[in-house]
Amino acid sequence: MKQRIKELLQSKPEEQQVEVQGWVKTCRDSGNLCFIEVTDGSCLAGIQVIAESELDNFADEVRHLSTGCAVCVTGTLVKSPAKGQEVEVRAEQVEVIGAADPETYPLQKKRHSLEFLRSISHLRPRTNALGAVARIRSELQFAVHCFFRDQGFLQVHTPIITTSDCEGAGEMFTVTALSPDEIQGGAGQENPFEHDFFGSKAGLTVSGQLQAEIFALSHGRVYTFGPTFRAENSNTSRHLAEFWMLEPEMAFCDLECNMELAEKLIQSLVATVLENCTDDLDLFNRFVSKGLLKKLETIRDQTFTRMTYSEAVKELEQAKKKFEYPVSWGVDLHAEHERFLCEELAGRPVIVTNYPTSIKPFYMRLDEDEQTVAAMDILVPEIGELVGGSQREERLDVITHRMEAAGLDTTEYDWYL
């Protein structure tokens, strides 16, 4: 395997022969020299290539390189006299693998709006911002698996197509082998899906939690990490039709244990990206969210503030701030409330516990007052809710009653009960 640009930029300039494959970001023609910046996605920075007029294809191809061209450069890695870079490549051969028309190629060396980038989905991963997002996300996913392995968890894979609505909200995308005519033709039947592939109505999963709980009752500590889907018709940045969800389940674990693990996980992941994604985070710190690095360091280093839902509502009611959505005991907190608690009140992440029963799912353990459940949400600055969790209800009579009250058909969940 050839070295990537990230590895070359960390190398010592020992006059070794190298081969660089990537895409041209900029090309500056200076008469008998061309200064070409090449990137390959392995890091935020590119590597500078110096191409001299002695190259066979200098006049015909090299000096006409433009942003987006794909090249393979063979040459020598040498010490760079320029500021901001330790090494550069003295080209001995520049092969143009794919040309880009500068008149029509849409990406240039400037900032592009996200709205514009959505219109060129085939090229937007080449931008600094989305490239950085991809690298950070990849690093985080690897760190998630490392964290749970070190904590003694077993990864399990739960169904993507399921007949169980974990949240009980009915907002699932239906998966069917029936044609629209077959579904409409059977609409008068008690179950038009009885002749479908699964023999009943099935959908894309909203959560792998219920199946993961089954594994937890045989392996103690498990987690599932995969795609989940929500058909909730709410077009905001907080509601996605498809996203990846991380769900650990632990036997013999109460709410305190739950909070301890979640806080430890977040701090571990933040520490990982602060150490391994320095350049990418610095990009966001400078151009997207000023002060981001300081906020991440606070999350990594400081203990999270804890308060009950009742205490949080009291703080919000007493706040000298006008909220768009009124606050009262029993209502679900909105993003503006969550951000106030962690940004203005605590100045760090906040764990809110013991939410009202009426706004939480059936599987959360009912508290002794029967008004609240042993649930917790972790709220972080600029985002609001990042983690939601709870101690699970283990009392059969209680959970059966709550499922019936939520309008769920308990016969469909008899495996869970």
Q: 352-375 pLDDT, tens per residue? A: 999 999 999 999 999 999 999 999
Mapped onto helix, strand or coil, the DSSP state of residue 364 is: strand
| Conformational region of residue 152, where left means phi above 0, alpha means psi within -120 to 50, and beta covers everything else | left
- pLDDT score at 180: 87
- pLDDT score at 208: 93
Mapped onto helix, strand or coil, the DSSP state of residue 333 is: coil
- pLDDT score at 187: 56
CA distances (Å), 362 to each of 372, 373, 376, in order?
Answer: 12, 10, 14
Which two structure tokens, joined as six digits, stand for 406?
A: 């939520």
Q: Are strands 350-353 and 305-308 parallel, antiparallel or unpaired?
A: parallel
- pLDDT score at 199: 87
Provide the CA 401 distance to its chain's centre, in angstroms: 36
Collect all residues with Cβ–Cβ distance below 8 Å to 83 and sequence separation of at least 6.
none
Rounded-to-integer distance, Cα 325 and Cα 74, Å:
61
Answer whether 155's CB lies under 8 Å from 223's CB: yes
- pLDDT score at 188: 60
Q: Is the dihedral of CA 404, 409, 411, 414 positive or negative?
A: negative
- Spell out, as residue ranges, where the chain has pLDDT lower than 50: none
Which two structure tokens, joined as six digits, stand for 269?
A: 């992941």
Which two structure tokens, joined as six digits, stand for 145?
A: 């698996």
The string of pLDDT tens digits covering residues 305-340 is 999 999 999 999 999 999 999 999 999 999 999 999
Rounded-to-integer distance, Cα 218 and Cα 156, Å:
12
Which two structure tokens, joined as six digits, stand for 37?
A: 């910046």
Rounded-to-integer distance, Cα 377 and Cα 258, Å:
11
Q: Are strands 17-29 and 33-39 parallel, antiparallel or unpaired?
A: antiparallel
Q: What is the enclosing helix (H) or strand (E) of 217?
A: helix 209-219
- pLDDT score at 226: 95
pTM of the shown model: 0.90
- pLDDT score at 213: 94
- pLDDT score at 181: 83
- pLDDT score at 253: 95
